[in-house]
Every structure is written in structure tokens, then in C-alpha cells.
Amino acid sequence: GQNIDQPTEMTATEGAIVQINCTYQTSGFNGLFWYQQHAGEAPTFLSYNVLDGLEEKGRFSSFLSRSKGYSYLLLKELQMKDSASYLCAVMDSNYQLIWGAGTKLIIKP
Amino acid sequence: GAVVSQHPSRVICKSGTSVKIECRSLDFQATTMFWYRQFPKQSLMLMATSNEGSKATYEQGVEKDKFLINHASLTLSTLTVTSAHPEDSSFYICSARVGQTSYGYTFGSGTRLTVV
């Protein structure tokens, strides 16, 4: 079956760095997405990785290792507004998105 | 950027009534629209995929006669929850793929449905 695993919840301090991991087992791979979702709102696109390596975009970076079925989202200089759920999603061979359950990130002052 | 407008944002209805949710792509043509449901503290669950001009494809366990999907044009897809029950109360979100894969998917703002 298809499976996406990510931690349920993480806590970090304002100004610090946090890494949210995602492991996946899917039928085929056409890229991995990270989305941010604030409570009661729709997800917003953060990043897309299809090749191995690190993609940096401002305070956020995303890494992919296809051989390990592994990705992480790195958030630097954390701000209170970064408190949200972070969803990992993989596009399978049928170009369908398979979603992880999301990681709730709590930022403390 | 690509925007999907979803209405209503919140709706409260009585059991047994029907509710229609609309998603419009404002500056692009959405040949395919995805409809998701999300229960509190859970991930997005794909309900169905609608393609313009053809019947929607429903995921296993989703009743097609209860959740009616219409995708009559390239800019409008609707989801109608028929004979709603309290267990249908959830957050419903539509999504469309934008251009090439790397652009990801753009989401509507979601509809919070409460059935009383």
C-alpha cells in the first residue's frame, strides 16, 4: 500500500530552527510537495522536489532523497506565524497526490 | 498567480437538506478539480476527481449519489452534499492542478459545513 509518515506534532522556540521529516512508500514517484496549513484554512504551497538534493527558498528549505524515500522541511529563524500544520504529499505514478497526516508545529516564545 | 475561489466559506444546514459548494478557477482553466474532505486533526482525504465534461471519479467509500459533482465548464466545479447528516459536518476543499507539476496544486479557501 501507499504510505506517508511524518511526526504528529513538534514544538520549537521562536528564532530557532526546526526540521520536519517525511518518509514515504508509494507506487511510483512524480515529486514531493510540502504545504502549510493554518487551522481552518486551506493548504498553501511551500515547495516541490522531484530530484535529490536541497531546495532553498528564503527561510524554508526542502530536501529529498529518492533512494531513501525521505524528505525534510527545514524552517529557519522561526516566527510565531509559522505555527501551523505542515503537510507532506507525494505524487504517485498516476499523478495523484498522496497526503501525509500532517505535522502540527507549535512555536513558543 | 492561479486562484481558485470557493464559496461558501461557512454553511450551517439542517439534517436532510442539500448544500452546494462552488469552486471557480479565476485566471486559468481547470480541466481537473479535486475535492477533499478534512476532519479535525486529520489529513486531507480525496473524495473525488472531477474532469470537465465527464463524470467524476469517486474514491472508494465515497457515495456518488450523496456527493454530487458537476464540472460543466473549465472554470466551475460544484459539489452538492445531498440529504446532509451531522456526520457530513467537515471541512471541504477543492483543488486544481496548475500548469506543470512544479507549480503544485492551488486550493480553494475551503468550506466549513455544519449539519445540525
Question: What pLDDT digit, counting tens, does each position of A22-62 carry?
Answer: 999 998 998 999 999 998 888 888 999 999 999 998 999 99
Nearest-Cα distance to chain B for A43, in Å, is 7
d(C-alpha B85, C-alpha B13), whole Å? 9
Provide DSSP, B52-110: TTSPPEEPTT--TTTEEEEEEETTEEEEEE-S--GGG-EEEEEEEE-SSGGG-EEE---
Interface subset of A 24-83, CB within 8 angstroms of B = 30-31, 33, 35, 40-45, 48, 50
Question: Under an 8 A CB cutoff, do B104 and A45 touch?
Answer: yes
% of chain B surpassing 70 pLDDT: 93
Is B103:B9 a contact under the CB 8 Å cutoff?
Answer: no
Question: Does the pLDDT of residue B107 top 70, yes or no?
Answer: yes
Question: Under an 8 A CB cutoff, do B43 and A41 touch?
Answer: no
d(C-alpha B90, C-alpha B37), whole Å? 7
